[in-house]
Amino acid sequence: MRILLLGSGGREHALAWKIAASPLCAALISAPGNPGMAALGRCVPVDVMDNQAVVALAKAERIDFVVVGPDNPLANGVVDALEAAGIKAFGPSGAAAQLEASKGFTKDLCAEYGIPTGRYRRFTDAAAAKAYAATHPVPVVIKADGLALGKGVVIAPTEKDAVAEIDLMFGGAFGVAGRSIVIEEFLHGEEVSVFALSDGTDALFFGTAQDHKRVGDGDEGPNTGGMGAYSPAAIVTPALIDDIMARIIRPTVAAMAARGTPFKGVLYAGLILTAEGPKLIEYNARFGDPEAQVLMPRLTSDLVPILMAAAEGRLAGVEAHWSDETALTVVMAAKGYPGAVEKGSLIAGLEAAEAAGAIVFQAGTARNADGALTANGGRVLNVTALGASVTEARARAYAAVERIDWPEGFCRRDIGWRAIERERR
Ligand code: AMP
Ligand code: GLY
């Protein structure tokens, strides 16, 4: 089978690594890809937001199956365009991707179908939003409705902060994403990510993980796309997984089908484990980044037939098998991230890091005119290792980090700290 993978980040390198290992994969083409993905198959430049360009590429390359990595092309309807051209693709339609692309859409769906989530109200008017915020207990969560590169969520510690944030959002700080906002109850508890595949009707549990969204050790500093992750998240017990599948994931899949927009693809539920049980804070309609980098090394089943089954409505009875080991990934970012970063600094030592037992997934990397590997973005490398415990996986990952020669990069030093504290007890 000839497979086309859309995207160019660490998530896509991890998916490419797993897809290329499948006996069903005769050729993998990544678009646009990155230097890490180039080692697994050809990379072809394409604007993933240009649906017709993607369809043309898939036709020219005689592609049998397309896997979409990032959220924006999904919301832009790339799967609809591919399917209309008769090309099979893994990922939701543009209508179903609303689960990620509109926070208000998802909150309304939860309310209608009794899916556990925080109390909320939607606003399209600043004055009404401020009046509501004034009566709301703090902290209060203010969210831009649309996709805002992970930046459209603020936890306001005081009413004054809430008002300032409402003004910022309606003032256009997040463009059209902030024309409509959600004001939401702050949920207390630990945050976990739960993944499930859906074919529109059935759902298959597809792993747990815990991300580290703040840039600094001890979860300090600004939010990022994610500075490291591990899987499984042991705090999510088998009983909790059953509960989450029964009360959150399956009702969502049923609701989307009932609305005439069945969800096919990966449902990534961001949850808070509250004293009253798990509650949904958001859905993503794609794999997490860096969560895919810890799920893929643990998946012992062939990924390709599972993704095909989800795309073709044949998920019932399909099983996914996972290693008992823990995977942990440390994100190495360019200094300055999540703010402005400089591109072009030289990176060396990847072979030495892999010789130390890690897998290095590449994210924002490029090759310069001399063919040397350079930094080309905020999050640059994902140094990933497996171990019998989080403690062991973390020791291996950081031992590999030490072998990477990139003075312009940095990483958090405490990935997995919550789980490691629990393992020490
Ligand atoms: P989101 O983009 O919706 O995932 O929000 C970004 C981050 O804000 C999440 O990863 C949570 O850490 C936090 N967050 C969002 N909503 C809530 C909430 N209702 N209660 C507590 N924390 C939240
Ligand atoms: N790691 C967070 C995300 O992929 O949205």
Which secondary structure element, helix H or strand E, spans residue 263, and what is its range? none
Q: Measure Cα distances from 175 to 140, 150, 179, 199, 222 in Å.
A: 22, 13, 7, 33, 20
For ligand 2, whether the C-beta of 291 sits within 6 Å is: yes
Helix (H, G, I), strand (E, B) or coil at 98: helix
**The overall pTM is greater than 0.75:** yes
Q: Give the mutation target among 213, 287, 291, 294 for probing the ligand 2 site: most ligand atoms within 8 A of CB.
A: 291
Q: How far apart are CA 385 and CA 275, in angstroms?
A: 33
Ligand that lies nearest to the alpha carbon of residue 211, given by its number in the listed order: 2
Whose Cα sits closest to atom 4 in ligand 2?
Answer: 288
| Each residue's pLDDT tens digit, 146-170 | 877 667 889 999 999 999 999 999 9
CA atoms within a 13 Å half-sphere pointing along the CA-CB vector of 67: 32
Please give the Cα distance from 89 to 82 (Å, whole number).
7
> How many angstroms from the chain centroid is the CA of residue 351?
27
Give the β-pairing of 2-7 and 27-32: parallel
CA 56 → CA 8, 26, 50, 52, 78, distances in Å?
Answer: 19, 20, 10, 6, 12
pLDDT of residue 150: 66
CA-based max dimension of the chain:
60
- Taking 70 as the pLDDT cut, the residues of the chain under it are 149-150
Would the CB of 226 count as within 6 Å of ligand 2?
Answer: yes
3-state secondary structure of 339: coil
Cα separation, 388 vs 383, whole angstroms: 17
CA of 114 to the centre of ligand 2 (A): 25
Q: Quote the CA–CA distance of 204 and 309 in Å, as a whole number.
A: 11
State the amino acid at position 318 in one-letter form: V
Residue 74 CA to ligand 1 center (angstroms) comes to 22
Ligand 1, atom 14, lies closest to the CA of: 281
Coil, helix or strand at residue 419: helix
Nearest atom within ligand 2 for CA of residue 289: 4
For the Cβ of 202 lying below 6 angstroms from any atom of ligand 1, the answer is no
Cis amide bond preceding 338, omega within 30: yes
Verify whether ligand 2 is closer than 6 Å to residue 152 (CB atom).
Answer: no
Contacts of 332 (CB under 8 A, 6+ apart): 379, 380, 381, 382, 383, 401, 404, 406, 409, 410, 411
Instruction: Please name every residue paired with 329 in a beta bridge, in sequence order, or none if there are none.
Output: 229, 384
- Distance, in Å, from the CA atom of 110 to the CA atom of 199, rounded to the nearest integer, reads 20
Residue 105 CB less than 6 A away from ligand 1: no
CA–CA separation, 81 vs 147, rounded Å?
A: 21
Q: What is the pLDDT of residue 173?
A: 83
Rounded distance between C-alpha atoms, residue 153 and residue 151, angstroms: 6
Beta-bridge mates of residue 385: 328
Contact 14, 77 (CB under 8 A): no
Rounded to the nearest 10°, the torsion over CA 14, 17, 19, 23 is -160
Nearest partner of 330 among 387, 267, 248, judged by Cα: 387
Task: Tell me the ligand closest to 70's alpha carbon.
Answer: 2
Taking the CA of 10 as reference, the closest ligand is 2
Per-residue H/E/C for 142-160: EEECCCCCCCCEEEECCHH
- Separation of CA 195 and ligand 2 centre (Å): 12
State the distance from the centre of ligand 1 to the C-alpha of 153, rounded, in angstroms.
Answer: 7
User: What atom in ligand 1 is closest to the CA of residue 150?
Assistant: 2
